[in-house]
Every structure is written in C-alpha cells, then in structure tokens.
Chain A
Amino acid sequence: MNRAGGLLATLILGGGAAMLPAQSGIRLTPMGRAVVLATHANPIPFGGALTEVRVVQPIFILGARALGGHLLGTATLDFESVTMPGGELTPGAWGEGFVDRRHPHTTVHELNVAAVDLLGRLDGRGRLGVVVGKGFVPFGTDDPMSRPISRYPVNHHLSQILERAIAVVQYDIGRLTFEGALFNGDEPERPGQWPLLRKGDGTWRFGDSWSARVTMRPVKGLEVQGSRATAHSPEHRPGAGGDAVKSSASLRWRDTRQWGERYLMAEWARTSELDGFFVFHSWLAEGMVRRGRWAASYRYELTDRPEEERLVDPFRTRRPHFENSNLGIGRWSLHTLHLGADVLKSGAPVNVAVFLEGTLGGVTKRDAAIFDPVALYGTSVVRQLSAGVSFDWRMRGHRMGRYGVLDAMHIDPAGHDMMEHQ
C-alpha cells in the first residue's frame, strides 16, 4: 500500500483522524453523515398528502489542526444539491425560496480557518481567536443538523445565520466567551452560490451585517447564550431589502455518563424586519436521552413563519420577492418525537442508527392578512411521519457552526473531541 493509500485507510478505519508526515505538523480529522429518509407529510400545500424518499444531510467534513492547536480549519461539503435539489419535504420549513420544504444547503457549506490564543500568555487564561472564511455567523444556537432530531425546526432561519462570509473575533476567558462578527447579509439563492462580497458597483456586501454573542458556562455541561445580529437584505442579494434585526437566547445542557447521555435545549428567537413591520418569534425546547443503543428525543416549538406568495410550484416562493408578496404570518405549533436505535456497536467509527420520527401540531394565522391555513392546506392540523437510517462517521456529538475557541476540542468536555482521541 502506498503512502496515500495508507493515509486514507487510517482516516477511514483508524478512528477517523490521521497525522500527515511529522514535519507538516497538521492533523486532519474527517467526518461525515448521511440520512436515508422516507417522509410522509399530510397536509401539503393545496391539500392531500405526499410521501418521498430522499438522502438528506449528506455531508463530508474535514477538520484540520496545526501549530499545536493554534490554527484550526473546517471544510464541509454538503451534497444536498445532488440528493435533494427540490428540497426535503418538511411542513412548516421555509427559506431561500423554498416553503414546506427545507432548502438544500450550499455545496461548500463551511470553509474557514481560525487562529486561537493569539496573545498566548500575555492575557493569562484568556484566549483571543479570529475566524475567517465561510460558515455560521456567531448567532443563536447549533445548527439542527448536529442536534438529535432529523427534522429541521421551523425556526431555522430565525435561530441560525449560516453560509455567510464571516470574520469573527472571539475572546474566551474562564466561563465566558465573547464573539463579534462581520458578514455579508445575503443568504444563498442556490446551492452553488458563494456569498456576495462586493457588488458590481464596487460597494461591499461583506461587512454590511454584524452579530455579537455571549456564551456563559456556569457549571459543567450547562451553557447559556445570548446573541444579537443585524442582517442586511438577507433575501435580496444586491442589497435592496431591509434589515433583519435578530435576537436569540438559549440554554443548553448536556450530560454524558457511562450509560449514555442526556441533553436539553431551550431557546427563544426573534426577528424584526423593516423596522418592526414584520416581527417573528420562536420558542423551542428539545431534549434527548440516550441509553445504550436506544435514544428518545422530543421537541416542541412555537414559531412564526412569513407566509409568502407561492409560484406555480406550491413549494417555492419568489426570490427575490417583489412588492407585496407577504400574505401574513402563520404560527406553527409542533411536537416532534424521535425514537432511534444504534444498529452498529457504539464506539465504532461509523455509527448506523435507525429511527422513527413523528410530528404532530397545527398552524394558525397570527394576523388579519389573507393567509388562511385551512384554505392553503385543507386543514390546520400538521402531521409528518418519517423513518430513516442515519450513517454517522464520527459526527455524534459534533456541534456544527462552532469555530475557534468554541470548537468542542477546547471547551466542552462533554462534547465531541476530534483530537484527543488519538
């Protein structure tokens, strides 16, 4: 076996991490995930039901560590543009021109580098970090892809800001982490699109939006965060839209034991658009207990969704939207239960699990505009049932969207540790 083959074998079979030749000082950690999912949704727009089978969340992540952990890199490829170009059937989901289907993510989902502890001993226990590249803005909670329930919540676009060009400054000291970021306000219009850094007229899109997040860890396993962001014209790439002012607060607790783990998360998020003309709220709580090979998770969310004019394809909305396309605000109240079992022995590099996931809830109109769930769906009751098989390659415990000083390897002893398992 040649050297490249040996490296590949080590990457795949040897616990998922490998060291390049010693002189390079670089450790690479690959990870991956894919879910084969059959989903039945009832209702769908304009009544009826639909069942689909898709491969969702097919990703490959390559983490890199160099200079003794002072230089980190994250690259994530997402292949949803291939496996689900028309989106994932998900009643209540919205964003990037999709509605009642979760949009496919951009192919290059994350690509960034982070410098950690730039001041070394000069600031004592403090660690200053910088992250640049593409990825998640320091705002809100973890991406749903790295949470226990496969179904994306309705609040994805209220509680996360993703796929942006980011420049983040972090400072971590003791139980506190402060983050501030500049980014481009525009969200992607299609999976192959890169963030718009500079417009044709020479003005910058990068930097027209900002975020700040404070994360506190009062006791082991418990994390509290508050964040705020202003995203300029997220749904109009050239920048003619208004600002989305976003707030988030959350509490997260994770406890790992010999017998398994427990997880709880509760969040509140608010987005105000056009100086408060449109305001969307979300409350969400979810929890998970894993014991041995079995896992049970539950989520409840109450989330407002902008209800927009649909195109001939009732799962699509106009992007950029134009003039008055808002039909009102729907309030989605959904319970989701997830039951799963590991098929392969826990601790294997590749974890295979089967699961059943059911969502039951309803949607109501929150204002006097013309959106009427019964007219649109034929009912106000939302039902979704999914069965899936997930393939995780060292993904369990990974927290997507946390970079630099917040990378799990440094601060979360209960979290996923990419390096120390070597």
Chain B
Amino acid sequence: MRHGWLTLSTLLVVLGCSTGTDANSSVTITASTGHLQTGVVGTALAAPLSVKAVDGLGAALPGITIDWSVESGGGTVSPASSTTGTNGLATATLTLGSAAGTQTVRAMLRGSSKSVLFTETAQLALLINTLAGNNQNGTVGLPLGTQLRVQVLENGVAVSPPRTVLWTVGSGGGTLASGSSVTDAAGVASMSFTLGATVGAQSVVATVQGTASNVTFNFTAFAASNNPVLVATVPVPANYGHHDTFVRDGIAFVLAWNTGLLIYDVGNGIRGGSPTNPVLISSLVTNANGVSGGAQVHNAWWFQNPNTGEKKYLFVGQEGPGSVGSASSGDIHIVDVSNLAAPVEVGFVHVNGAGTHNFWMDEQRQVLYAAYYNGGVIAVDVSGTLSGDMSSRIIATAKPGGAGNTYVWGVMLANGTLYATDMLSGFWALDPITLTTKGGGNNVPERYGSDQWVVGPWAYSGGWGTRGGVRGNAVKVWSLGVAGGNPVLVDSIIVPNITTVSDVAVTPDGKALVITAEGGSGGAGLYVYDRVDPRRPALRGVVFVAQGIHTGEIAVINGRTYVFAARDPANPALLIYDITAVVP
C-alpha cells in the first residue's frame, strides 16, 4: 500500500495538480485515462483523455466542469469543456497536430487553478508495405530466392529523408543478412533472409525505426531432404573444363573444351552405365578450324531425324575468343555419331566475324538454330548428308537487336515461335522461318541476358555479369499470353550473392524450374524451384558449389529426374544430381 500511495502522490505532482484555496478547494482532479499515448500526426488518439474529480474523502463528484485546451503541438481537443458524470469522470478527444514530437493538453477545473497536464507523442504517418519476398517457400537453412523488400511511404509518398528499417526474425529462426537497412529514393529497403531450421511457418518483421509501423513477411520452409542429391561426380580435365552436357536416350555428351567431346553411357545400356555410374564410351577432339585457342568444345545437339529415323549427326558448338558485345569466334562442327564408340567429324559451318553459342532444333523440318553472339541467330538446313563446309546451308540469319546491339546467347523453339535471349537487347520472339521479329526485345535494359526456357504460356530467362552496377542475379518471368505468344515481363526471382544465372531449364513434366548460378560469394550452385504458380516459382532445393555451376541439363532416366551439371574450374567436373524428390 505504501508503494501505491507513493505512486499516486508522484502522479499528482507530475501532472501538475494545484492545492490552492479557491472555490473548488475541496475538489481534486487527477488523470484517469489517455495520458502518455502515441499516435499518428493529424489523427485522433486511440483513447480519450479523461480526468476524475473527487472530494476530500475521495468520493466521485458529478457535475464538475472541466475545460480542455491544447498547450503545445497544434492539435485540437474536443469538446472544449465537459462535465463529470456520476463516476466523476469527464472526457475529451485529442486530434494530434501536424508536427511530430511531444504534444500537450491541459484539463482545467473550472473556477480553480487546479489542472492536469496530458503529454502525448505524435509520429509521422508512415506506412510500410511489402513489395517483394512475402509468402515465399524455401528450404530450411537456405537463403530465400527473393530478397525481402518493403516500401515506406509518408502520406502516400516515398519517405524522405531515408529512414532506417529494422528487421527482426519473427518465428522459425533464421538469419537476416543485417539487422537494418535504409530506404532508397523510392522509399524501398531490402534484406536477404536465410530460413531457420523449423519446418513449416517462419516469419520476419520489418519495422520503421522509431515508429510502430511494421509489416510481417511469412514463409514456408520445407525439409532439407528436398535438396538435390549428388549421385555421381565425373572429373573433367582442367583444360579449361566442362561447359555443357547434352543428354538423350541415356547417352550423355559431355562438352569439355579442349579435352573435346566425351560420350558417356548414363542409362542407355550399351556399356552398362547409369546416372550413378557413367561409363565412358568414346571421345573426340574436334578440329580447331583455325580458331585461336583450340577445339573449345562448348555445347551440342544430337539430331534424331523423325523423317528418316537417323541418329547420325551431333552438332558441336565451338566457343572461341570473344569480347562481349562486339566480337566472337568459333564454328559449328558436325560429328557423325552413327557409331557412338567411334565418332568422326565430317563437316562444319562457319560464319565470318562471329562465333556460335547455344543450339536448338526443329527436327521435323531438319533445321538447326544457332545463337551466334554478335552474328545474331542463324538457321541451317541440316537435311540429307552433311559433309565438309556446310556454310552454304545457312538459310536465314537475323540480328534481332540490330547492329551494335546484338549478342545472342541462346535460342529455343516452342509452339511455333523461335525465342532468343540477347545479352544486350533482351528477350525476343522470332518467326522460325524468316527469323523476323514477332515481338519482345529491348525489354531487360538493366541487366545483361543469358539463357532461357519456354514452357506453355510462360518463359524464364537469366542474367549475366554486371551491367551498370546491376548484377545478373535475376530470373526474369515472362508471360507469353498464349503458347507461342510474345513475351511480357511479369516478375523476377532475385538470387542473392551471385552475378550470373548461367542456365535455365524446366523439367519435362513442367513441375520444376532449374537454374545454375555463378560468380558469387556463397550463392553459386544449383537451384530448383516449383512451378505451382508459374508466375512465382518457389525455391524448393539448392546445392551450393563454390566454383559455380555453368550449365544444368535435365534428363529423365528410368523414371527419375536428373540434372547433369557442369562444375566450373578449378576442379571442373560433371556433377549428376537426382532432383526427383525436390519437386515430386
């Protein structure tokens, strides 16, 4: 009781009670509710301000008039006066003024000098919203695929000057890259988050420092057992290394730079190989064709002609020296693989002043499409017998971005449209016959482009290197409207701590999106996303590989889904991952 008496006495003093000998000398008023509130400038405080009038014996006094006035802060108090009820209470409502900080209201006992001072705190009207990263799925212990981004608005306008956003883990554990970040000119603050060990719901709270404005991000964490499982490692001589793999009919063509073409049985049966036990069938170093640097075997396509039933030709891309954006070199080499145990180079395609990169085929029409960097896109008639210099078989060429703005990384034919990713000029839709532009293009100005994959009315493309300070750490999500339609950018997946998304592919069942990542400090590796919502793929599994993964070729062998991944130098290798359980 002594403690309670002291507290009441202290409050009376603090609130400025007077003890004068006036007409209401026996009346005492004290603050009842509403003192020390915090509210948003220009709005009414949540609780009314009230004082209680009592007589000398402590009994409530009705009918006592209290006059209310704003002393500081510029707000309004209403009503200007009020009368105590039978419980001795008189109330008023304060609408805060426009200035942030302390605001005060005085309640005065009419006819007396006795008063009570209410002190309140006004804060700016800050609104914090989630911009990206909410409702993600991921794997326990692994970084989320998309950075968490909030926007802080003040009265609907990006907050200025910059404000600090405090980030805290709400539930489920996990690690934030930092405890705070600062808003940019658009009022946006970002943060990376690595999920905690708890399977199920996890959350992060973002709060504007010094305010109660906050927003919660919610996530779902899957068990780590969903990660890709490494089932085989096949070292590749460091010469430079391993760039790509083409897998078909249980045969893996490993494209191993100056070590050449390595042909493995990974489930075909001709040598008893399997994904867990690849067996080398043969190898071939293709001709340098005078290109500086040697064979530089980079990519391939095994042509299986539906018209003739032939599985005779393997087209091999040679990637010679180049300067991104302006120069490239290297030919298409044609290898007869009728006898997989004894491949023989039989011809080539050469384009002056340019070098080839990735391939796609219209096997029915017997047309090979090749990305040709600064040479754009070419279409080659590969019908009939192929031998010697096949450069005259080029039936169409195009530079979709125009001269000086074309450096095509990859092509893919889907639903009657040839799609091309240009490192400089974005994602294009081309007519597969004429290679004329159907749509798209100049649609990723902030990043250099890399690989692509098209599935139904959706497409995904990667980023490369750093362009004007923006890393190529994004997978762009494109809506085609209808299958074969023109690309419209609808979303992006940001992959933390990398510079390049070097390969993009979707599993044959369409359930999983697989990307490979390079150039990072901790983020390089193999990422697998589900496509439950094709517009917003959710990360379901990841394997980090310090050197980076350059490409990931998807193949279904004996009912299981594998990724044949090319590990970058040093210590290059073919890594074979089973991803069947990642996205069941």
Contact = CB atoms under 8 A, between A and B. Distances in A.
Interface in B461-488: 465-469, 471
B520 A311 contact: yes
B324 A324 contact: yes
B324 A322 contact: no
A237 B404 CA distance: 34
Nearest to A309: B465
A277 B323 CA distance: 9
A320 B324 contact: no
11 contacts: A239-B239, A278-B321, A310-B466, A311-B499, A311-B519, A312-B498, A318-B519, A322-B550, A323-B319, A324-B322, A375-B467
A240 B257 contact: yes
A367 interface: yes
A312 B497 contact: yes
A309 B467 CA distance: 10
Contact of B240 (A47, A312, A320): A320
B468 A367 contact: no
A328 B326 contact: yes
Contacts of B404: 368
Given A322-B568, A370-B424, A376-B469, 6 more contacts: A46-B466, A277-B327, A309-B466, A312-B471, A323-B243, A376-B468
Candidate in B237, B241, B569 with the most chain A CB atoms within 10 angstroms: B569
A368 B328 CA distance: 12
A240 B323 contact: no
Candidate in A314, A320, A367 with the most chain B CB atoms within 10 angstroms: A320
A376 B470 CA distance: 10
Interface string A315-340: 00010101111111100000000000
A260 interface: no
Contacts of B324: 309, 324-328, 369-370
B395 to A, nearest CB: 27
Contacts of A326: 321-324
B258 interface: yes
B20 to A, nearest CB: 65
B329 interface: yes
B280 interface: no
B520 A312 contact: yes
Those 5 A-B pairs whose CB atoms lie nearest each other, nearest first: A370-B325, A369-B323, A238-B238, A275-B292, A368-B326
Contact of B569 (A201, A278, A322): A322
Interface residue SS majority, chain B: loop
A313 interface: yes
B448 interface: yes
A155 to B, nearest CB: 20
A225 B464 CA distance: 44
A232 to B, nearest CB: 12
A184 to B, nearest CB: 16
B241 A322 contact: yes
Interface in B237-260: 237-241, 243, 257-258
Nearest to B521: A312
A242 interface: yes
Given A310-B499, A322-B569, A370 B243 contact: no
A375 B424 CA distance: 14
A134 B88 CA distance: 96
A50 interface: no
B46 interface: no
B293 interface: yes
B337 to A, nearest CB: 24
Interface in A226-264: 236-242
Contacts of B568: 322
Contacts of A368: 325-327, 404
Contacts of B520: 311-312
B570 interface: yes
Nearest to A276: B292
